Structure 1
Amino acid sequence: MPDCTDQIEHLDRIARTMDRAVRLPIVGVHVGWDSILGLIPGIGDALTLGPAGYIVVQAHRMGTPGALKARMLGNIGIDALIGSIPLVGDLFDIGWKANTRNVALLRKHFESEQDDAPNGAVTSS
Structure 2
Amino acid sequence: MAFEMPIGNDPASVRKRIEAMEHLLERSFTIPGVNYPVGLDSIVGLVPVVGDLVTAAMGAYLVWEARNIGLPKWKLWRMAGNVAFDTAVGAIPIAGDAFDLLFRSNTRNLRIVKRHLDKHHPSSRVIDS
- TM-score normalised by length of structure 1: 0.85
Q: CA deviation at 1:61?
A: 0.9
Match in the other structure for 1:56 = 63
1:10 aligns with 2:17: yes
Match in the other structure for 1:101 = 108
1:37 aligns with 2:37: no
Which structure has the bigger radius of gyration? 1
The structure where helix makes up a greater share of residues is: 1
Match in the other structure for 1:71 = 78
Let me know the Cα RMSD of the aligned residues. Answer: 1.6
Given that 2:44 and 2:51 are in contact with CA atoms closer than 8 Å, whether structure 1 keeps it comes out as yes
Match in the other structure for 1:123 = none
Q: Which has the higher contact order (CA 8 A, sep 6+)?
A: 1
Query: How many percent identity over aligned positions?
Result: 32
Q: CA deviation at 1:3?
A: 5.2
- TM-score normalised by length of structure 2: 0.82
Name the amino acid aligned to 2:51: G
Q: CA deviation at 1:5?
A: 2.1
**Unaligned stretches of 5+ in structure 2?**
1-8, 124-129
CA distance in 2 between partners of 1:39 and 1:58 (Å):
26
CA distance in 1 between partners of 2:86 and 2:120 (Å):
28
Q: CA deviation at 1:42?
A: 1.2
Match in the other structure for 2:54 = 47
SS in 2 for 1:78: helix
Given that 2:11 and 2:121 are in contact with CA atoms closer than 8 Å, whether structure 1 keeps it comes out as no
